[in-house]
Amino acid sequence: MLFRCLFLLLCSVTVGFSQTVGTSVSKKEIKIGQQIQLTLQTKVNEKDLVVFPDLDSIGKLEVVEAFPVEKIKKGQQVEWRKKYNLTQFNPGKYKIPSLEVVVNKKKINSESIEISVVDVIVDTTKQKMYDIKEDEVINLEKTEQKPELSDKEVILGLLFALVFASIFYLILKLKHRNKKKSETYITPYNKAFLTFSDIKSTSNAKEYYSSLTQIIKSYFEKTLEFSALESTTEQFIFKLKTAVAEKQFEISETTISQIEKLFTKADLVKFAKISVAEEEQNADKLVSENIINVFHKTLPTSAEEQRFAFAKLMEAEKQQKQKNTRQSVFIITFLVFIVSIVFFFGWENVTNYINAKINGKDAEYYLRKEWLVSEYGLPILQLESPEILVRDSIESKNPNVKNISQFSWQNVSDKLSISIQTVAYKDSLQPDLKVFFDAELDNLMQLQAKNIKTTARKFKNVKNLSGDILEGSYDINEGSEIKSMRFLTVFLSDSYGLQKIRITHDAKDKNAKSFIERVTNSLEQLNQEEDE
């Protein structure tokens, strides 16, 4: 019985120590108002349930921000992390108390950590003091940045403008079409031959010859401008000869004689009722057509034809003017909707989209965007970038490596890319820059980089973070073309680990230097004590 009790006690102790909560802070000493980051972490099985405390204050420290829980899978286990940003506005020593983390309904306590909050010392012998001014109310309004434009949104916007402009164009076109159009004008010559085509030889010779003489009279009444339709044959021939003499155009006597002969035959058919064979009727029709053809070649343009020609010209000009109006309304409407769409999406977003389409997403494009600050790897490295870097799957066969993580944003063949690799050693090692540089060159060659040229120098950013830089240029195949690229790799190393940040960019990118400076100046190492 005693043996069983000891066995159960041993099992409970073993289970109790199998799950622990690691506790770490980014700094152990801060100035008044500065923030310190507390991290709680625990490793459990994938199916285990972990609940971290949700607090407004921890001890006498105020919780400025509580971050979402991070989940990192490591083999068969899952590492859960919860981070809190804490602050205090009074100097002194403060204790972060032990916190309860619930794992499968079992409470596990974290370790307590003591931190110091120091006062900010002002040297009045070097710094001139001024009277305290009254509080000034400042309204800080943060403009919400609209999301990046997509091709779908741009196409829909253009279609929207095009549809509305087309609607206005069609409305005007229908309006003009419904207006009364000018009468279609047919010249006397064309009208005569259209009428000739309708006359067929018939047994009724009187009707046939009446139609022939009527066509000829109508033609001359329109062209020579005298009353012909109500005239007898003698009157018509007299008026015709008089008009020819007054107009002074050359018409042979033979043609005049043909007219007289045709009209005399027509009178005989109508009044003497003589019969004419169909063959002779067809022949006289050809004579009538020939007469009008002869006169048409020599007759001047009549006043009626001139009026209709002018009216036709005015109609054409009017239609062209209406067409120009419709086109102008279409263009103006389209541009108005385009301007409205630009205001809707935002001028900066539109110019960024156009610039990205013309020049690609280069450094200038990303420098205009809102950047994000995030933390990567272990040891923790903080970095500012246009977008959050994505964790890559990586393993190390080096027996001295305790932990390795890699994160990247875009591919090295893109116009810009960033990658981070953090390595933690199991034991203290003496860093060898030559080994680091050779490994970096091997990585570039694995990416099919050619003609690699490098230089090395020391690195130090605005946050006094120092290290080494390997930078240079290389060529990479992009389809059938060779693309010139540049790279800069920052090495932050000590005897306990290595942090490597590589930035690659198009060699022709003029704003790449500003992009690199912004990334490298944002680099900051955050201390963390890892409890296994």
Report pLDDT digits (tens) over 378-427: 778 899 998 889 998 888 878 888 888 999 998 777 788 999 999 888 88
Considering the domain boundaries, does residue 223 fall inside one?
A: yes
Mean pLDDT of the residues in the chain: 80
pLDDT of residue 15: 40
Stretch (H or E) spanning 488: strand 481-494
Instruction: Mark which of 60, 93, 118 sits at the end of a domain.
Output: 118
Tell me what the mean pLDDT of segment 14-28 comes to: 69
- Whether 375 and 519 share a structural domain: yes
- Whether 384 and 509 share a structural domain: yes
Stretch (H or E) spanning 41: strand 35-45
- Whether 418 and 515 share a structural domain: yes
30, 36 Cβ separation under 8 angstroms: yes
The segment with the largest mean pLDDT, out of 3-17, 266-280, 378-392, 516-530, is 378-392
Tell me what the mean pLDDT of segment 348-354 comes to: 71
- Picking from 255, 234, 230, the residue whose alpha carbon sits closest to that of residue 244 is 255
Q: What are phi and psi of 408, to 5 degrees?
A: -150, 155
pLDDT of residue 352: 67
Instruction: Mark which of 250, 277, 300 sits at the end of a domain.
Output: 300
- Picking from 185, 204, 184, 186, the residue whose alpha carbon sits closest to that of residue 195 is 186
Considering the domain boundaries, does residue 469 fall inside one?
A: yes
SS (H, E, C) 381-444: EEEEECCCCEEECCCCCCCCEEEEEEEEECCCCCCEEEEEEEEEECCCCCCCHHHHHHHHHHHH
Considering the domain boundaries, does residue 149 fall inside one?
A: no
- Would the pTM count as exceeding 0.85? no
304, 298 Cβ separation under 8 angstroms: no
DSSP code per residue over 42-72: EEEETT--EE----SEETTEEEEEEPPPEEE
- Whether 396 and 496 share a structural domain: yes
Considering the domain boundaries, does residue 191 fall inside one?
A: no
The first and second tokens of residue 14, run together, are: 């073993």
- The answer, yes or no, to whether the previous bond of 379 is cis (omega within 30 of 0) is yes
Domain ranges, residue 501: 369-526
Count CB-CB contacts under 10 A for residue 365: 21
Q: In the chain, how many domains are there? A: 3
Q: What is the pLDDT of residues 197-220, one digit of tens each?
A: 888 777 788 888 888 888 888 888
Considering the domain boundaries, does residue 357 fall inside one?
A: no
CA distance 364 to 353: 12
Q: What is the pLDDT of residues 437-468, one digit of tens each?
A: 988 898 888 888 889 999 999 999 988 899 99
| pLDDT exceeds 90 at position 489 | yes
pLDDT of residue 510: 87
Considering the domain boundaries, does residue 143 fall inside one?
A: no
DSSP 8-state assignment for residue 180: P
The first and second tokens of residue 461, run together, are: 């950013």
- Whether 212 and 78 share a structural domain: no
- Whether 295 and 388 share a structural domain: no
Tell me what the mean pLDDT of segment 212-232 comes to: 84
Count CB-CB contacts under 10 A for residue 337: 18
The first and second tokens of residue 430, run together, are: 């003496």
Report the number of secondary-structure helices (H) and strands (E) in the chain.
12, 22
- Picking from 76, 12, 14, 77, the residue whose alpha carbon sits closest to that of residue 41 is 77
- Whether 399 and 478 share a structural domain: yes
Q: How many residues belong to the chain?
A: 532
pLDDT of residue 279: 85
Instruction: Mark which of 279, 300, 321 sits at the end of a domain.
Output: 300
DSSP code per residue over 111-134: PPEEEEEEPPP--TTTS---PPPP
pLDDT of residue 357: 64
- Whether 261 and 376 share a structural domain: no
504, 486 Cβ separation under 8 angstroms: yes
pLDDT of residue 5: 43
Q: What is the dihedral of CA 68, 73, 79, 85, to 10 degrees?
A: -30
- How far does Cα 362 stand from its chain's mean position? 15
Burial of residue 137 (CB within 10 Å: 0-12, 13-18, 19+) is exposed
